[in-house]
Structure 1
Amino acid sequence: MPLVGNWLGMDLVVEDTDRENHTFFEWCGKHELRLQRWQSNGLLSYPPGTACPWDGTAECEWERVEGKGTVMSYSEVHHPLLPAFRDQVPYLILLVELDEQRGQPSEHEALRILANLVTAEGELAPPEMVQRVGIGTRVRMVFAEVGEGFALPQWTLDENVDQPTPWRYPQE
């Protein structure tokens, strides 16, 4: 049965024929971040796939991970492409390297997840929160409910750690 939801007025569907993504979002619906750990090499990977991105083998287990990490890059959006985001600008899209498997299998292929910056309640971050986040900021995963048993993984500030002074792109 497909996962069906709505976020910011946009209809979202993950068909059950898309087995790997369906499984991933089912776990997100339970507020658990689970990633594929490949039996051939012990590495975790994201996004979900039918085969290990390093050796093409298919045997894996879904493993729960903590979902904390460091912002490696970001994009501050001021001109949204989708109408649903028109009233939400500015908002941040974060590329976060997870603490699990940091720098593996190489510094260029570490475990990284792209998602929005949100409040702890899962709402897109307000402008004052957007201004506090940059490269080096510590974040944790939260889940925005979009439908029954369906949630989107998002990033919020990790308030349980001392935050470094983040690097931000110079503003014009």
Structure 2
Amino acid sequence: MALQGEYLGMSVRVDATDQENFSFFSYCDQRELRVQQCTSCDLKRFPPTTACPFCSQPESTWECLSGRGTVYSYGEVHHAIQPAFASHTPYLLLLVELDEQRNEPHEFDGLRVQGNLATAEAELASPDLVRQVGIGTRVRVVFKDIGPGIAMPLWTIDEQATQPQSAWRYPLE
């Protein structure tokens, strides 16, 4: 059995033998952002793995998160390498530091998840929306159905959160 879908013209397939990613995308289909939490050291981790990167123990549980965080970094793509993405440029790939587990296990560490910037309706963000987002912008997760039983987590501006006066953006020149 496999989860199969299409995201922006690109084929996505997660086989059931890849238990960690299969579980992650299945939870996304249920509109839940879940990550693994180690039963030994209690730290959460992303991306999904077979063992804890902090203590190497294999046992974990899936913990549901708030789905809210802050843009930690981003890449603004103007020249898509993947041909299916070319008509969507410019688009943002965000690295979001989730509200859970900040500064753990050490100062400056955090639980960070990547994903594209989207509208609240889970459509890829327009160039106008892209220009509004930078480091420090508060975002929340939205889910895009990409096939039966599979959804892609994306990020949109969190309208309920207090936003910075001006999010930091990389200089254009």
The normalised TM-score by structure 2 is 0.97
Whether the aligned pair in 1 keeps the contact of 2:9 and 2:85 (CA below 8 Å) is no
Aligned residues: 172
In the TM superposition, 1:20-169 aligns within 5 A as 20-164=20-164, 165-169=166-170
Partner of 1:17: 17
- 3-state SS of the aligned residue for 2:160? coil
Q: Deviations over 1:23-51 (max 9, x none)?
A: 11000011101111101111110000000
Runs of 4+ in 1 over 3 A off after TM superposition: none
TM superposition shift of 1:103: 1.2
TM superposition shift of 1:8: 1.5
TM superposition shift of 1:109: 3.0
TM superposition shift of 1:108: 3.8
Partner of 1:3: 3
RMSD of aligned alpha carbons? 0.8
TM superposition shift of 1:67: 1.0
Matched residues in 2 for 1:23 and 1:124: separation?
A: 24
Task: Write the letter of the residue equivalent to 2:168.
Answer: W
TM superposition shift of 1:105: 0.8
Matched residues in 2 for 1:83 and 1:5: separation?
A: 17
- 3-state SS of the aligned residue for 2:93? strand
Matched residues in 2 for 1:25 and 1:64: separation?
A: 13
- 3-state SS of the aligned residue for 1:49? coil
Structure 2 stretches lacking a partner, 5+ long: none
Matched residues in 1 for 2:156 and 2:9: separation?
A: 21
Matched residues in 2 for 1:22 and 1:129: separation?
A: 31
- 3-state SS of the aligned residue for 2:172? coil
Matched residues in 2 for 1:109 and 1:4: separation?
A: 33
TM superposition shift of 1:64: 0.5
Task: Write the letter of the residue equivalent to 1:9.
Answer: G
Q: Deviations over 1:86-134 (max 9, x none)?
A: 1100000001100001111123431001110011111110000000000
Task: Write the letter of the residue equivalent to 1:48.
Answer: P
